[in-house]
Amino acid sequence: MKKLLLLNGPNLGILGEREVGIYGSATLADIERSVAKEAAERNWEVVGVQHDCEGALVRTVQDNYDTVGAVINPGALMIAGWSLRDALANYPRPWIEVHLSNVWAREQFRHESILAPLATGLIAGLGAHGYQLATRALMERIPAE
């Protein structure tokens, strides 16, 4: 079975508890289930990984070159996650960057992603639904086999 990488960065393991007014009430488990439901249409299994440590995220990217693609919420590593950027530059599949909040409607320091220029696309500000949309977009870009 083909696999889709669902990668979440720092502080995303506490979704549902963390600043609900900004990030919503969906937990990471809720998001993983919704992505799995979308991915099931293509018979893809979801490999859901969340780490607060950038090095662990880098290793996860490197260990998952065989996935069909990825949905990635780097959290604040979008701002200065240079080693994650280097790992994603070498990731051989399409991937979409996702952010729960509209980062451009927030503090100035969140207005630039060092990862976005490498991504196939970017979805921000649509809450947990953004993950489903990213999965759907990958399904449209990756040929069915």
| 65: annotated active-site residue | no
CB-based contacts of 77, cutoff 8 Å, min separation 6 = 9, 10, 54, 57, 84, 115
Provide the domain count of the chain. Answer: 1
pLDDT tens digits, 51-102? 999 999 999 999 999 999 999 999 999 999 999 999 999 999 999 999 998 7
pLDDT tens digits, 29-39? 999 999 999 99
88 and 95 Cβ atoms separated by less than 8 Å: yes
| Annotated active-site residue in 65, 91, 99, 131 | 99
> Which CATH number belongs to the domain containing residue 14 in this structure?
3.40.50.9100
Q: What is the pTM of this model?
A: 0.94
Domain that holds residue 93: 3-141
